[in-house]
Amino acid sequence: MKDDPSGRRFACACAAALLVPVLAAGGLFGLDSPPAARAGILFLSLLFGLPIALLHLLVLALPAYLVLREYWSLSWWAAALGGFVVGAIPVGLLALGTVDPSSDAVTLSFGGGLLGLSGGVAFWAVLAVKKGGPLPDRP
């Protein structure tokens, strides 16, 4: 997608990239919890997850998008791959910095990557939707 999105659409895409992974993580943590505790878990995931996601967005994702959009068009798979990398690398580095690095570092990095992937796809989906038109790269 080579077009330059409007400021409002870009802001909505950034908001989606922040909220989708945080809510997904909160939903996953709440699966084993009693129904009465799920709202509290979602609130806590927003409280603690949004600042972390905002750092990922501001420090890694937005600079990468702004540089790479000059060379490649934003497709769903590029957004998914970029989101995976943005989510996996910091989590993996933090997990390796623990006292007892083990296979848990790979698991944590993969989990962070999947959450980042969801944020990347949400970012692409908001930018890809055009007023009254279909999503690009879709049959």
pLDDT digits (tens, 9 = 90+) for 60-69: 999 999 998 8
Lowest mean pLDDT among 79-88, 111-120, 124-133: 124-133
Q: How many CB atoms lie within 10 A of CB 52?
A: 16
Rounded Cα distance between 95 and 90, Å, is 9
The answer to whether position 135 is within a domain reads no
DSSP H helices, the chain, are 7-29, 35-55, 62-68, 76-96, 103-128
pLDDT number for residue 7: 85
The answer to whether position 2 is within a domain reads no
What CA–CA distances, in Å, run from 23 to 49, 60, 138?
9, 20, 27
Residue 18 C-alpha from the chain's centroid: 6
The answer to whether position 137 is within a domain reads no
Dmax over CA atoms of the chain, in Å, equals 53
- Domain containing 87 equals 7-128
Counted domains in the chain: 1
Q: Is the pLDDT of residue 117 over 50?
A: yes
Lowest mean pLDDT among 5-9, 13-17, 102-106: 102-106
The answer to whether position 78 is within a domain reads yes
Q: What is the pLDDT of residues 9-62, one digit of tens each?
A: 899 999 999 999 999 988 888 888 888 888 888 899 899 999 999 999 999 999
Phi, psi (deg, nearest 5) at residue 30: -85, -5
The answer to whether position 102 is within a domain reads yes
Taking a C-beta distance cutoff of 8 angstroms, is the pair 87, 115 a contact? yes
The answer to whether position 76 is within a domain reads yes
The answer to whether position 134 is within a domain reads no
pTM for the predicted model, two decimal places: 0.82
Q: Is the pLDDT of residue 4 over 80?
A: no
pLDDT number for residue 103: 63
Q: How many CB atoms lie within 10 A of CB 10?
A: 16
The answer to whether position 74 is within a domain reads yes
Greater confidence, 118 or 31? 118
